[in-house]
A and B are shown apart, each in its own frame.
Chain A
Amino acid sequence: MTLGLFFTQLLNGVQLGVLLFLLSAGLTLVFGIMNFVNLTHGSLYMMGAYFAAAAYNWSGSFLIAGLIGVPATVLLGLVVERVALSTLYTRDHLDQVLATFGLILFFDEVVRIIWGPSAVYMNVPDALSGTVALFGLAYPSYRFAIIGVGLAVGVGLYLLIHRTRVGMLIRAGASNPAMVSALGVNVKLLNALVFGLGAGLAGLAGLMAGPIFSVQPGMGEPILILTLVVIVTGGIGSIRGAFYGALIVGIVDTVGRVFLPTLLRAFFERSIAQAAGPAIASMLIYLLMAAVLALRPQGLFPVKHG
């Protein structure tokens, strides 16, 4: 294992983490501020990818795919929030899980009817199709773009939450929603805003994931599970928690996947290491989550109250 390869793998971990951050930021906001378990978040990511792929195939431009895909997902998110979810805010979590799980099945079926069961074509923009030489190894430029977009979103969210009036209301809503509404803030509007923001981030994640993952029905579910792991690890409702949580999960997952089989090979026979390595590596992030829940149930970077 060379140093160059190690850094490349670290970069891979950061890139996965950044993609997870885009998704978990939206989910954690909705969960933390509206106290709403939104399993539909994975479906919004899928719809974002489909909208972007459709726009991409129609226009041939990645930029237009983004300009259409992300707002379309925001719009869809707002409609879903108004039509289906807003009546569930006062219900308990089990009802919310059931209803949003139903929506997952609904959206999977919708895309299957419209776009068919096979994966849909989407490609990286030409300018980013190459690779960059890094530590003597080639690294895909598009993955750098994902890291860049994710970091920009992180900075943007930080400024929005900590430097604007809307951000102040969001923070207040996360701490004490009853008081915020008693002070005359239109909570309904605030909820719609937060949900729309979350949907937009999910759509952006779908757009960025479109060229590297296959855009197909059900693509939102595996990543939704990772996203839930991220927000539980990082601390529910906290953007900071989502950011660091995503990076930790991304790096642990990637680095574990690569180094564990090699490590096991030092102790066991090759065939055992080959079979057990990936199996144990894929458990690592869940072990991490279990450890966090046991030692710090509020997450590693919880919302600061008071």
Chain B
Amino acid sequence: MTRLVTLVAAALAAAPLYAQTPVKIGFMAEMSGPQGALGQDQYDAFMMVVERNGGKLGGVPVEIIKEDSQLKPDVATQIVQKFIERDKVSIITGISFSNVMMAVHKPITEKEVFLIGSNAGPAPIAGAQCSPYQFIVSWQNDTQAEVVGQYATDKGYKRVVGMAPNYQAGKDFIAGFKRYYKGEIIDEIYTPLNQPDFSAELAEVAAKKPDAVYVFYPGGLGVNFIRQYQQAGLLGKIPLLATSTTDGLTLPAQKEAALGVISGTFWGPDFANPASKRFLEEFEKKYNRIPSQYAAQSYDAAQLLDSALAKVKGNVADKKALMAALKQADFKSVRGAFKFNNNHFPIQDMYVFEVAKDAKGRVSLKTIGTALKNHEDAYHTQCPLK
């Protein structure tokens, strides 16, 4: 296992007068394997804020301990145990995948350690299993599909085919899409999770001649799907609506094959607000690539911690005060307005994007509308928190 301890607080050794025990933060994400790019974007954006502030968040020195959960819930559980018992962290952030989140959510929040999630937002923790120690900076999973469903309704599509891998998340996203789509789903096609070729399904879709196709194919599957959709001559003929299929991580491999695909989420690289512009500029300069939405989420997680630690002056032992400070979310989010709901998930605008070339001619995401304003997830009423 790779274990990298970044002791950024060392920079402060020159000023022993102000020496203060650094606040320990555990960062855990998927850093290896095909999904490693997601965790890497989360980590890079988080560390960008820490480094910009000279190894501090909220004016207090921080020590970030990085671990790779390898997309294995059992490994993640062990890491969390180590974080809490040996490293004595008071805050854990990152968490890329929902299955990992479900495994570590209880062990973390039960020990009254703050969980600042910057990606996964499965339904159970937004509803009945919510905890006051969780603060999810990204989104509840379903909302990324709901916004696309709303778009399909707004466009007046009557007949839509849904396609996703045959596992829990695939079904969740199709369900989320249907929650806001008022037309008819003429077919739902679920493909085995390890199936790389969609030629047979695409031939079927083409024969059905739907008004639009809605898909959820994350990571490498999305690269396969988009290329094959374009090669089959369907791109531009049948509108393609997608969740997590054309994002900052897959577009560099899809390029022109994805032009015109519609997707929906909370932020895009063309946002004009000052916080987003600064983030984009600094990220591109430092890492020489367009940041993905996952980087934006983690950047906001770091900013949230920055604001809250400043409010409590680094005193993480006062959990009540820190919880209140986090709940206020007093920071300039890259998405514009940001507010926590009763279940500590964001209430936020959800936007629709089209894959298009940016000013520099690179294939990126272009905002084409706000389908859902001040959107709350469907589960917050089941969460007992006030």
* Chains A and B are bound partners: yes
Bound Cα distance A137, B194 (Å)? 27
CB distance A213 to B197 under 8 Å?
yes
- Report if B311 contacts A (CB, 8 A): no
Within the complex, the shortest CB–CB distance from A198 to chain B, in Å, comes to 22
Interface hits, A193-227 → B, CB 8 Å: 211-219, 222-223
CB distance B191 to A16 under 8 Å?
no
Within the complex, the shortest CB–CB distance from A152 to chain B, in Å, comes to 21
CB distance B37 to A16 under 8 Å?
no
Bound Cα distance A129, B256 (Å)? 12
Chain A residues positioned under 8 Å from B219 (CB to CB): 119, 214
Chain B residues positioned under 8 Å from A15 (CB to CB): 199
Which listed segment binds A: B14-22, B111-119, B132-140, B224-232?
A: B224-232
CB distance B196 to A138 under 8 Å?
no
Within the complex, the shortest CB–CB distance from A65 to chain B, in Å, comes to 15
- Report if A186 contacts B (CB, 8 A): no
Interface hits, B213-229 → A, CB 8 Å: 219-221, 223-224, 227-228
Identity of the chain B residue whose Cβ is nearest the Cβ of A274 in the assembled complex: B188
Pair count A-B, CB < 8 A = 125
- Report if B288 contacts A (CB, 8 A): no
Within the complex, the shortest CB–CB distance from B174 to chain A, in Å, comes to 10
Identity of the chain B residue whose Cβ is nearest the Cβ of A223 in the assembled complex: B196
Chain A residues positioned under 8 Å from B37 (CB to CB): 116-118
Identity of the chain B residue whose Cβ is nearest the Cβ of A217 in the assembled complex: B34
- Report if B201 contacts A (CB, 8 A): yes
- Report if B204 contacts A (CB, 8 A): yes
Within the complex, the shortest CB–CB distance from A13 to chain B, in Å, comes to 8
CB distance B200 to A112 under 8 Å?
no
Interface string of B157-174 (1 = CB under 8 A from A): 000000000100000000
- Report if A185 contacts B (CB, 8 A): no
- Please tell me which one of the listed residues B166, B255, B257 contacts residue A279 in the complex, with CB atoms under 8 A apart: B166
Chain A residues positioned under 8 Å from B189 (CB to CB): 261, 274
CB distance B232 to A140 under 8 Å?
yes
- Report if B310 contacts A (CB, 8 A): no
Chain A residues positioned under 8 Å from B220 (CB to CB): 119, 214, 216, 219
Determine which residue in A142, A223, A257 has the highest number of CB atoms from chain B within 10 A of its CB, and name it.
Answer: A257
Bound Cα distance A92, B252 (Å)? 44
Bound Cα distance A261, B191 (Å)? 11
CB distance A12 to B200 under 8 Å?
yes
Interface size on A, residues (CB 8 A): 49
- Report if B192 contacts A (CB, 8 A): yes
Chain B residues positioned under 8 Å from A214 (CB to CB): 196, 219-221, 223-224, 227, 253
- Report if A99 contacts B (CB, 8 A): no
CB distance B204 to A222 under 8 Å?
no
Determine which residue in A121, A218, A282 has the highest number of CB atoms from chain B within 10 A of its CB, and name it.
Answer: A121
Bound Cα distance A275, B232 (Å)? 26
Identity of the chain A residue whose Cβ is nearest the Cβ of B204 in the assembled complex: A258
CB distance B32 to A16 under 8 Å?
no
- Report if A9 contacts B (CB, 8 A): yes
Bound Cα distance A117, B38 (Å)? 9
Please classify the interface of chain B as helix (H, G, I), strand (E, B), loop, or mixed, using the class held by over half of its residues: helix
**A274 touching B250 in the complex, CB below 8 Å, given contacts A119-B220, A138-B233:** no
CB distance B224 to A212 under 8 Å?
yes
Within the complex, the shortest CB–CB distance from B209 to chain A, in Å, comes to 11
Chain A residues positioned under 8 Å from B233 (CB to CB): 130-131, 138, 140
Within the complex, the shortest CB–CB distance from B125 to chain A, in Å, comes to 25
Bound Cα distance A274, B223 (Å)? 24
CB distance A138 to B232 under 8 Å?
yes
Chain B residues positioned under 8 Å from A117 (CB to CB): 32-37, 40
Chain A residues positioned under 8 Å from B191 (CB to CB): 257, 278
Identity of the chain A residue whose Cβ is nearest the Cβ of B191 in the assembled complex: A278
Chain A residues positioned under 8 Å from B255 (CB to CB): 121, 123
- Please tell me which one of the listed residues B203, B204, B227, B249 contacts residue A118 in the complex, with CB atoms under 8 A apart: B249
CB distance A274 to B34 under 8 Å?
no
Within the complex, the shortest CB–CB distance from B248 to chain A, in Å, comes to 10
Within the complex, the shortest CB–CB distance from B316 to chain A, in Å, comes to 33
- Report if A2 contacts B (CB, 8 A): yes
Within the complex, the shortest CB–CB distance from A73 to chain B, in Å, comes to 20
Bound Cα distance A304, B131 (Å)? 68
Chain B residues positioned under 8 Å from A278 (CB to CB): 166, 190-192
Determine which residue in B35, B40, B203, B221 has the highest number of CB atoms from chain A within 10 A of its CB, and name it.
Answer: B203
Bound Cα distance A289, B177 (Å)? 39
**A218 touching B227 in the complex, CB below 8 Å, given contacts A16-B199, A257-B200:** no
Identity of the chain B residue whose Cβ is nearest the Cβ of A8 in the assembled complex: B203
**A129 touching B253 in the complex, CB below 8 Å, given contacts A5-B203, A119-B223:** no
Chain A residues positioned under 8 Å from B34 (CB to CB): 117, 216-218
Bound Cα distance A112, B189 (Å)? 32
Bound Cα distance A222, B195 (Å)? 8
CB distance A131 to B232 under 8 Å?
yes
- Report if B317 contacts A (CB, 8 A): no
Where the two chains meet, the residues of B that have a C-beta atom closer than 8 Å to any C-beta of A are 32-37, 40, 166, 188-192, 194-197, 199-201, 203-204, 206-207, 219-221, 223-224, 227-228, 231-233, 249-250, 252-257
Provide 12 A-B residue pairs closer than 8 Å at the C-beta atoms, listed in order of the A residue: A119-B220, A121-B252, A137-B206, A139-B232, A140-B228, A140-B231, A212-B228, A219-B220, A222-B196, A254-B200, A257-B201, A278-B191
Where the two chains meet, the residues of A that have a C-beta atom closer than 8 Å to any C-beta of B are 2, 5, 8-9, 12-13, 15-16, 112, 116-121, 123-124, 129-131, 137-140, 142-143, 211-219, 222-223, 254-255, 257-258, 261, 274-275, 277-279, 281-282
